[in-house]
Structure 1
């Protein structure tokens, strides 16, 4: 949960898709333990049935056996796994995860899991041999063992440094996430299982362990992002598409998954809580050209943006996020689809007009969105049918195409708004803009650009073979088998992106919405203007070329 832990992360970089895929089967060790327990119950039924529910002596015994035998044995075996042969063939897989996570604890070879189960079984067998074991002892020890391993790998320093200052001996009794992270990055130190005393005894204790612990706990490692993308929730599925719920699911494009249906009542309750929330949540981040890019999310669902009584609250929320970014020192903040809705805030212009001294640059990113849509159009197109034609994007697309000699059928009932846009075009190109009021006008045009939701009965007017380009959120339904449908405008991030492990809504890996990419380009170019309100048609080609120059690629 980055919004809670961002100041306590040991390593600041994110977890990328490669690490997520590598740790996909992190739960294998749980299956192995279950199989071993089943084997024990089957072949030694009298033993398992004879165990009492609780025995205090057993807990003391298992603790002493763990500290005396399991810890020292693990230390020796762990160092052995760092020898050339065992490390290359077995243990290196575990160490490929540079940014350790709780999932990393279970990411290891079968041999390592078997050895670990044997080490974990010594105290249980020992307590049983001394006739003081109990069922609660067995379950408590195994659960505590697995919990401590996950704790050490979690990359979030939850143990206060003041605890060790109050009782210095405690630092040798149990390890911390900071302590274990040093082993992943400096492999010749900090070999212990849970107790650093064995590293101290055998001179493998990393001298930076306690100073780094103090630094992380003080929050000094938290970095101010250069760029923030301010997103929002679309519907229940996208609300569940966050890495702190299901890391595996969030690493894939957001689609309807029946397995998530039982969680919907919980999401509904959370939605009611979020409605009253005044907090913007940090949900993901990545690094590009040594600059930190973060995604913050407004805790509002898509349908809430269309409730008249919610308008002021949502605007206040967006405004607070912009002011927070400005106070932190963020350079660019880019607004997601509904956060820059024309009816809501005029494409973000009200914030710039209200706060004249903003240092952070507010960007709606629609210039690049328009560029992406325009560059998707087939070469030589002569006519397009455009819905949502008087919106920010619709206006820019219509004016751009008119200048290129393309006839644009602009669907709008408002003659006044149409004439305002038509007059913006050079006189010699105004004839290329044609107002239409019905969908029937597009029945002979195979290039539809959809900027407003269209119903099935409206789609039927498109001729067979039509391609629907679109910039409407959410995307229109794919109902025509004889037609093709484009996705929302998007771009591939550059290849040198690091730490990206979450897919953005329905986008594939490494792909972001064009408005997100537009903010990235704004930062990389170092532009000092706000990109709000109406789209500058003259800048469409400029922004497109800048995006390609910086390694962003069309989908």
Structure 2
């Protein structure tokens, strides 16, 4: 944010003209520079938000992978090129030579001149497009690529913000490309305010669309007008360039790739597949969360990247939007359903986070309990139809008072194929995964707790003798009766620590396990259980393993 201080001189000029005129200086190019900068930033933000609304765009994403934190860090100052181009524009506006020639003043008197648009279009096609094409091809050759362009290709998943990420040389090249049509129109005396806004914003719109990673043009359009595929590119077209780097170099018009022999012939068939959703796949794991509060709701990935990348912090810039977020909360309460928020890949598996459209405080309203459970149930049934392997209930979605930690849905739908679990379940799974395979005896403290019960029942089925430390015979017998008859003999009650004197404690802390469990790193350890098992656990259990393991 500190680099916006460079706009201080432009803001001061606008303020000075405002003071002199006693009103907003609508005829000032300084004011138009600031307004154009804001409009350009909103254009990129619009496409960024749209591309990250996975509940709208999931099926038409070109590359289904998500953006990782390295890419977020690398593209943090993506708007540097906007700053550079605005300052170059300010330099031209304040240039004595431009003022003497009065090249810009006539354009303020006329908001629209079709002659200027015609000249700008002609110069874009005949000068700007081929200039960008050949310069882009040159940047892909050694040594220019490694020095100036490799950073732009740092990630295969493009976003509208990737369009602005590059070296100063690339930003200057874009400035020339976008400026040639405008310069030609103004030099011929047919420039206008409307041309500046229209040309620049259309340039940014098309560039953001190409980098959005979401197909928006129906293949039927290209089938109806085949020539159009050589006049406008698509997100798939650009994505192929970013991944393969040896084709599709054009700015917006693929005809120059056709003429230059660099057209990737997979572009249109792949574009059709992506648009029709053939690139989509069901997730392996779903984390079913809910909204924490109104401020947290503004940290979702499709609002502002600078805020969503720091979800633990409240940003003052969001306070003016609190009433808007409150309105969306009421809207979701009335007519929304569970939706996809984010996705990522881990060890080859597709993981997604779905959100129940309810906020934390609503879980403590008795009248809202039924509606929340209906939302969770619908999400579980939807995941089951999609073929999801594991669905984890997060936070208050697994509240005992709400649905018994998920047993309400498991008991109601015993035919479920999806494994309904929660963070405590994964805690047990990680602990079980850490126990060596050759262990024959386990000494278990906190044995009748939720976590102890789950571990004891699982281990006895593996024919591992479990010494359960508890003074309550009633609670021990209750757990023992839950085990199959042929495995009940492996559950043994002990009332003192002496049987564990030759044991060593498992080198695993429960707090660490819970963090790892939520990361789903040991999810496979759980998948061997019955599809409808729901395990309860807490942090009071400890495991001791015998020093002598046979």
TMscore range, shorter length: 0.7 to 0.9
1:264 and 2:264 matched: no
Look up the match of 2:70: 18
More deviation, 525-534/314-323? 525-534
The aligned counterpart of 2:151 is 93
TM-score, L = length of structure 1: 0.73
Q: Which residue of 1 aligns with 2:82?
A: 30
What residue number does 2:6 align with?
none
Give how far 1:250 is off: 2.2
Counterpart in the other structure of 1:530: 532
The answer to whether the 8 Å contact 2:423/2:514 transfers is no
TM, length-normalised to structure 2: 0.73
Gaps of at least 5 residues in structure 2 are 1-52, 433-444, 458-466, 480-491, 498-508, 545-550
User: Which one has more relative contact order, counting CA pairs under 8 Å at least 6 apart?
Assistant: 1
Deviation at 1:30, TM superposition (A): 0.8
The structure with the largest alpha-carbon Rg is 2
1:139-171: per-residue Cα shift (whole Å, max 9, x none)?
111111112111111100011110001111111
In structure 2, the residue matched to 1:313 is 371
Local SS of the residue matching 1:268: helix
- Alpha-carbon separation, structure 2, partners of 1:541 and 1:222: 43
Aligned residue number for residue 252 of structure 2 = 194
Equivalent residues of 1:369, 1:489 under 8 A apart: yes
Q: Does the residue aligned with 1:180 lie in a helix, a strand or coil?
A: helix
Give the conservation status (yes or no) of the 8 Å contact 2:452–2:537: no
Distance in structure 1 (CA, Å) of the matches to 2:529 and 2:518: 16
Q: Does 1:42 align with 2:100?
A: no
Q: Give the alignment of 1:318-333 within 5 angstroms.
A: 318-333=376-391
Match of 1:136 in 2: 194
Q: Distance in 2 between matches of 1:185 and 1:368?
A: 36
Cα distance in 1 between the residues matched to 2:538 and 2:174: 63
Residue 395 of structure 1 and its aligned partner are, at CA, apart by 9.0
Partner of 1:198, secondary structure, is: helix
Higher helix share: 2
- The Cα shift of 1:304 comes to 0.6
**Structure 1 unaligned blocks of 5 or more:** 375-383, 408-417, 432-468, 471-485, 492-513, 543-555
Pairs within 5 Å for 1:18-167: 18-43=70-95, 44-45=98-99, 46-51=102-107, 52-167=110-225
CA contact (8 A) 1:367 1:539 kept: no
- Which structure 2 residues correspond to residues 502-517 of structure 1 after superposition, within 5 A? 514-515=517-518, 517=520
- C-alpha distance in structure 1 between counterparts of 2:237 and 2:63, whole Å: 12
How many residue pairs match? The answer is 446
Closer, same or farther: CA 422–130 of 1 in aligned 2, 3 Å: same
Partner of 1:231: 289
More deviation in 253-262 or 49-58? Answer: 253-262
Judged with a 3 Å threshold, the aligned counterparts in structure 2 of structure 1 residues 304 and 16 are, in CA distance, closer, same or farther, namely same
Kept after mapping to 2: 8 A contact 1:232/1:298? yes
Distance 2:475 2:332 in 1: 39
1:212 aligns with 2:214: no
1:228 match: secondary structure: strand
Deviations along 1:302-328, one digit per CA (max 9) or x if unpaired, are 111111111111111000000000001
1:308 and 1:49, CA in 2 relative to 1: closer, same or farther beyond 3 A? same
* 1:252 CA displacement: 3.1
Contact preservation (8 Å) 2:229, 2:254: yes
Partner residue in 2 for 1:335: 393
**C-alpha distance in 2, partners of 1:191/1:232?**
43
